[in-house]
Amino acid sequence: MTQETIAMSRHPVVDGATRVVGIVGHPIAQVRAPEVWTGLFHLHGLNMLCLPYHVVPADLPTFFAGMRRMQNLAGMIVTIPHKPASVDLVDKLTDRARIVRSVNFIGIRPDGSWLGDIVDGIGFVENLKTNGADPAGRRTLLVGTGGVGTAIAFALAEAGVSELVLYDRDSERSEGLAQRLAALGWPARAGAPDPAGFELVVNASPVGMRDDDPLPVDAARIAPGSIVADVIVHETELLRRAAAIGCRTIDGTGMMDHQLVAMAAHLGLGEHDFSAATAKRVAAAVRG
Amino acid sequence: MTQETIAMSRHPVVDGATRVVGIVGHPIAQVRAPEVWTGLFHLHGLNMLCLPYHVVPADLPTFFAGMRRMQNLAGMIVTIPHKPASVDLVDKLTDRARIVRSVNFIGIRPDGSWLGDIVDGIGFVENLKTNGADPAGRRTLLVGTGGVGTAIAFALAEAGVSELVLYDRDSERSEGLAQRLAALGWPARAGAPDPAGFELVVNASPVGMRDDDPLPVDAARIAPGSIVADVIVHETELLRRAAAIGCRTIDGTGMMDHQLVAMAAHLGLGEHDFSAATAKRVAAAVRG
């Protein structure tokens, strides 16, 4: 694929037959999905685009009721703060969305009903694998069990980690999640944020977004040679410290792009290339 | 403005901050508004686009309730068959929308309330004026008093026609409209579809859309030198016959483009060029 082709991808055509994938959030202006998805649709010659919908939490049920009447809606990406509330606003949930109690993508089935799925955990794990860090068989510490952390916990469990220790500042939250995972037969328990002895250390908390944040774990106790991953999309102090002692480090940048394939499958677009690599090239072209 | 600049207009960027003007209809795939408006927004460097919303009549109230919750909605164009129903689904009507009992554009006021307006009559009259056919002072026959015909009737009355005779196959409809116009002090009455003696003859009925349609008026009785206008967007048999006897003929092509200025005013974009001439160039570039 030539650079010229990618450069065209910022330029969708809109006409009366255009179909829409929405992304609903509050706030919304910061989301990357409209550029990336619209670029990919254009690249594949699809008359579709991804459009931001700015909706406040109290308005979500009424907004969704209205969007259900839009016949040219193809699907809906759900982002902060609407993921937990969307669980009760769809007609059916995938197993993982039901277990995680969170929805970040709504597919529209042939009968018009809405199917809620959660694919950010999958995106995180796929990103690890792409970076040569398959979590299968690894003793794993996960810090942060909010919405994203919960999704990642289930995805890591499904990916076959040998041990999963969960920590959250809100200990009820991490303990509750550990119990739910254990009840499903996964090797999960709540524990301290001590990275000593773990082969995979994951930060799924917001700690590290700001430069003056403390470290989410004691970096001095990270085992040299382990894998340290963060959901935050820039290189955090945690990752810098880990890299300095020879750990493989993976930031959150690729996590969203690795969800596109799963979302595209819901859109019935499985035959097209929605790989993270192509998404990354499209995003670069759009920004360029 | 160079050709290159216009050629770019088919290529909007979509991102998280994009604002939307919807167009709601059933069917919807045929509408031109998304291409024309999106091209104009792009031309003016506005992060906005015009998006089709395919909604069936029974779903309109629920759809509108949902769209009211979309904070980045800038306005909504209303097309067939939703114009009459929209009268009861907005918070306030312009005088002309209240009188015509039809809405084809919804503006969103600073307090979030919805203002319904009808500008297709204005677009029709502006198109006449641009073609050197100011209706002021002319004896006028209008055939067809459905939604568009009613809007045109009021716009012609406001534009100062000296006499306005209305005909509709459904005589109750044309007589009712004539009475409402007359009650407002306009020189209107119901009458036969006989063009003899009129200086301006307008077809606002669908008769002539198909090649095997009869003529909406008896072409042999059109006064040579009169003006004959049609809402239909191609050259109808009526216009061909009229042209053959030396009448000035005007088809419906420019009617939509002449509504853009009024709609742009509702969008708070009055400082930008939304003229019919620019819209026409943008549309040509998009199609090209």
Q: For residue A225, what is the domain's CATH number? A: 3.40.50.720
Give the nearest chain A residue to B55 (CA atoms).
A70
Q: Each residue of A148-197: pLDDT tens digit?
A: 999 999 999 999 999 999 999 999 999 999 999 999 999 999 999 999 99
B-interface mutation test, from A13, A14, A46, A59, most B Cβ less than 10 A away:
A14
Test A17 with B29 for CB contact under 8 angstroms: yes
Same domain, yes or no: B246 and B169: yes
Q: What is the pLDDT of residue B286?
A: 74
- The minimum CA-CA distance between A61 and chain B, rounded to whole Å, is 8
- Residues B154, B114 share a domain: no
> Residue B8: which pLDDT band, with cuts at 50, 70 and 90?
very low
**Intervals of chain A under pLDDT 50:** 1-11
CB contact under 8 A, B62 and A65: yes
How far does B55 lie from chain A, in Å, by closest CA? 5
Instruction: Give phi and psi for A202, each to the nearest 5.
Output: -120, 125
Q: What is the mean pLDDT of chain B?
A: 92
pTM of the complete model beyond 0.90: no
Q: What residues of B are in contact with residue A13 (Cβ under 8 Å)?
A: 10-11, 35, 286
pLDDT tens, position by position, B58-83: 999 999 999 999 999 999 999 999 99
Taking alpha carbons only, the member of A79, A139, A89, A84 closest to residue A115 is A89
Shared-domain flag, residues B140 and B241: yes
Nearest to A67 among B66, B68, B286 (CB): B66
Instruction: Report CB contact under 8 Å: B66, A71.
Output: no
CB pairs under 8 A between A and B: 132
Q: Are residues B133 and B211 in the same domain?
A: yes
> What residues in A contact B50, CB-CB < 8 Å?
14
Tens digit of each residue's pLDDT (9 = 90 or more) over B249-281: 999 988 989 999 999 999 999 999 999 999 989
- Say whether residue B288 is in contact with chain A using an 8 A CB cutoff: no
Q: Please check whether residues B64 and B126 belong to one and the same domain.
A: no
Residues B129 and B50 in one domain: no
How far is A230 from chain B, CA to nearest CA, in Å?
A: 24
Do B93 and B216 fall within a single domain? no
Residue B11, chain A, CB below 8 Å: the answer is: yes
Q: Mutation target for B interface from A4, A46, A69: give the one with most B CBs within 10 A.
A: A69
> Same domain, yes or no, for B113 and B139?
no
In our burial notation (b when 16+ CB lie closer than 10 A, e otherwise), range A172-185 reads ebbbbbbebbeeee
* Identity of residue B245: I
What string of H, E and C letters represents the secondary structure of chain B?
CCHHHHHHHHCCCCCCCCEEEEEEECCCCCCCHHHHHHHHHHHCCCCEEEEEEECCHHHHHHHHHHHCCCCCEEEEEECCCCHHHHHHHCCEECHHHHHHCCCCEEEECCCCCEEEECCHHHHHHHHHHHCCCCCCCCEEEEECCCHHHHHHHHHHHHCCCCEEEEECCCHHHHHHHHHHHHHCCCCEEECCCCCCCCCEEEECCCCCCCCCCCCCCCHHHCCCCCEEEECCCCCCHHHHHHHHCCCEEECCHHHHHCCHHHHHHHCCCCCCCCCHHHHHHHHHHHHC
The three-state DSSP-derived secondary structure of B145-201 is CCHHHHHHHHHHHHCCCCEEEEECCCHHHHHHHHHHHHHCCCCEEECCCCCCCCCEE
Whether A34 has its CB under 8 Å from any CB of chain B: the answer is yes
CATH at residue A66: 3.40.50.10860
**Cβ distance of A62 and B65 shorter than 8 Å:** yes
In angstroms, the Cα distances linking B135 to B123, B159, B197 are 13, 7, 15
- Statement to judge: residues B58 and B125 lie in one domain: no
pLDDT given for residue A2 in this prediction: 39
User: Least CA distance to A62: which residue of chain B?
Assistant: B66
Contact B11 A13 (CB under 8 A): yes
Q: Which domain holds residue B40?
A: 3-118+259-287
CB contact under 8 A, A51 and B10: no
3-state SS, A181-249, equals HHHCCCCEEECCCCCCCCCEEEECCCCCCCCCCCCCCCHHHCCCCCEEEECCCCCCHHHHHHHHCCCEE
Q: Write down the pLDDT at residue B211.
A: 86
Which chain A residues have a beta carbon less than 8 Å from that of B33?
A: 16
**Interchain CB contact of B180 with A (< 8 Å):** no
- Return the residue of B nearest to A24 by Cα: B70
Considering chain A, what is the average pLDDT of its residues?
92
Is the same domain home to A97 and A184? no
In this prediction, residue A253 carries a pLDDT of: 87
pLDDT value at position B2? Answer: 39
* Contact between chains at A69 and B63 (C-beta distance less than 8 A): yes
Nearest to B14 among A34, A55, A69 (CB): A34
- Residue from B60, B69, B73 to probe the interface with A (highest A Cβ count within 10 Å): B69
Say yes or no for a CB contact (<8 Å) between B15 and A35: yes
Instruction: Say yes or no to pLDDT of B171 above 70.
Output: yes
Q: Per the structure, how many domains does chain B have? A: 2
Side-chain half-sphere exposure of B54, counting CA atoms within 13 A: 15
pLDDT score at B288: 61
| Closest CB to A18 among B30, B34, B64 | B34
Token output for B126: 């502006």
Please write the tens of the pLDDT for every residue from B92-139: 999 899 989 999 999 999 999 999 999 999 999 999 999 999 999 999
The answer on B20 and B69 residing in a single domain is yes
B282 chain-A contacts, CB cut-off 8 A: none
CA distance B89 to chain A (A): 14
Where b means 16+ CB within 10 Å and e means fewer, B30-61 reads: ebbbbbbbbbbbbbbebbbbbbbbbbeeebbe
Residues B83 and B131 in one domain: no
Residue by residue, DSSP assigns chain A as --HHHHHGGG-----TT-EEEEEEESS-TT--HHHHHHHHHHHTT-SEEEEEEE--GGGHHHHHHHHTT-TTEEEEEE-TTSHHHHGGGSSEE-HHHHHHT--SEEEE-TTS-EEEE--HHHHHHHHHHHTT---TT-EEEEE--SHHHHHHHHHHHHTT-SEEEEE-SSHHHHHHHHHHHHHTT--EEE--S--TT-SEEEE-SSTTSSTT---SS-GGGSPTT-EEEESSSS--HHHHHHHHTT-EEE-THHHHHTTHHHHHHHTT-TTS---HHHHHHHHHHHH-
